[in-house]
Amino acid sequence: DEANIKIHPNPTKGLLNIHNMSDAEIEQVFLYDLNGRQVDSTSQHIVKKQLLEMNISQHPKGTYVLKLVSKSAIYTKNIIKN
């Protein structure tokens, strides 16, 4: 459920906080550029009430798509890197 996942700050200068408030465990996190190329990922699981910090500072400024995958759903969010 989208309301149970908080991603901040957005826009970001490099550090993204992904806070999982849902009951579902997020199993994978992917970052794509607007051409659909995967530019980053993590397989660190984000269990309920857990926060994952993802550093995207090495990527150029622009808009990216963050994709979070659980067993029951896929959640995507546009991320702006300043």
pLDDT of residue 37: 98
- Confidence (pTM): 0.92
pLDDT of residue 24: 85
Q: Is the pLDDT of residue 2 over 80?
A: no
CA atoms in the 13 A half-sphere facing the CB of 66: 25
pLDDT of residue 14: 95
At 3 the three-state DSSP class reads helix
What is the tens place of the pLDDT at every residue in 21-64? Answer: 988 899 999 999 999 999 999 988 898 889 999 999 999 999 99
Q: How far apart are CA 5 and CA 18, in angstroms?
A: 7
Cis geometry, peptide bond prior to residue 60 (ω within 30 degrees of 0): no
45's tokens: 């699981």
